[in-house]
Chain A
Amino acid sequence: MRKTYFGRRNALIPRGTALVGGVFAVVAIVIVILRVALPGTLIAVASPLWRLSAAAEGAFYAGSASLQSPAKLQSELDAANTSNAALTDQNKTLAAQVVDLEKLLGTRTDVPPAVLASVVARPPESPYDTLVIDQGSRASVAPDALVTGPGGVPVGKVASVNAASARVTLFSSPGVATDAWIGQSRVAATLTGVGSGAFTAAVPKDTSIVVGDSVYVADNGAAAIGTVVRLDSDPSSTSMTLRIQPLINPFSLTWVLISRS
């Protein structure tokens, strides 16, 4: 039988392009549904690839170390060996203390005040200054819990929680406002996140803040969060803008503590 109908071809969008675009659109819709209905599943599926990315990054930096001069590498090795010997001695002392304290108190321990979590995804993969961590409601992680990095430095708050994972919004996330104190005189200010771990704050010109002053947020007292690195002042304005550098680089965060509140 003679064919009397021919499919019309779209001159703007070729068939192959439409097909590939359609497949991507369907995948995007499925992923959005997963995010809404089963958010933990999406993170569980993506986690191995995030870990692969972090491992590849580590291998790249390790490989680039071989390009440094042998003398510099040797001096770094010597310093590491010295530090290792000191830490070994300290470890022996601490182990002896543990044995003595266990004799004195027994082995009963209290519930730890915080949950240790591994960071699965961090900036710059994430454009929002958010973290994805591998502990969730099963480990008593709750929304709005404070998240701290190494040294107890506050880094952000839990934004959403799944069974085995959670998302953390960093204080430096663009537009996020955090109450803080600045400098020795504890000048009150509101920090505004500008991304990549950095903050800005507007304060009156007549304050005694100088470059190098520490910035604190409320966390069981005042916890240092960053350092003032620049003061931007406009002659026509009564206030000045502080540029604040974080104490912790969010790009290299690997472990965080989530407070049990």
Chain B
Amino acid sequence: MIRAIFIVLAAASTLLFSWQYAAALIFIAALYVPLVGVSLGVIYDALYYAPGAGWPIATIAGIIGSIAAFFIARLIRSRVSGVAL
């Protein structure tokens, strides 16, 4: 249930919240489902990226965040008992 709430909130945050809150929510959602980080990063750039605005930071951050979230979630699952990630 908590997993679903975080994933829905992360998806909604791309349109409703400022990018700082969105980034935090997407990272938490990526702890449960790593691909969510990459996907929402790509969606963020599809929505807001404009030509001439430099690197597509959201996609790059999504990839890095997803990889980090995958390993952090694995670490938590193996070291902390009772955590359902």
Contacts and interface: CB of A to CB of B under 8 A. Distances in A.
Nearest to A47: B15
B16 interface: yes
B74 A128 contact: no
Contacts of A35: 46-47
Contacts of A160: 50-51
Nearest to A53: B16
B23 to A, nearest CB: 8
Interface residues of A, number: 39
B33 A17 contact: yes
B73 to A, nearest CB: 10
- B-side interface mostly: helix
Interface in B20-37: 20, 22, 32-36
A173 B52 CA distance: 9
A176 interface: yes
B35 A24 contact: yes
Chain B interface residue bracket vs A = 20 to 34
Nearest to B23: A127
Contact of A25 (B38, B44, B49, B50): B38
Nearest to A54: B16
Contacts of B52: 159, 169, 173, 176
B54 A174 contact: yes
Contacts of A167: 50-51
Contact of B35 (A25, A125, A128, A169): A25
Contacts of B63: none
A31 interface: yes
Contacts of B76: none
Given A27-B43, A31-B43, A31-B46, A169 B15 contact: no
Contacts of B22: 125
Given A27-B39, A28-B40, A169 B50 contact: yes
A52 B57 contact: no
Given A24-B35, A50-B15, A130 B46 contact: no
Interface in A133-160: 159-160
A168 B39 CA distance: 24
Contact of A128 (B17, B32, B54): B54
A37 to B, nearest CB: 12
A133 B73 CA distance: 40
Given A17-B32, A17-B33, A24-B35, A53 B46 contact: no
Contacts of A121: 47-48
Contacts of B57: 127-128
A169 B47 contact: no
Contact of B48 (A17, A34, A126): A126
B54 A175 contact: yes
B39 A125 contact: no
B48 A125 contact: yes
Given A17-B32, A124-B20, 12 more contacts: A17-B33, A20-B35, A24-B40, A27-B43, A46-B15, A49-B16, A123-B18, A132-B48, A160-B50, A169-B51, A169-B53, A176-B53
7 contacts: A21-B39, A25-B38, A49-B16, A127-B58, A132-B48, A160-B50, A169-B53
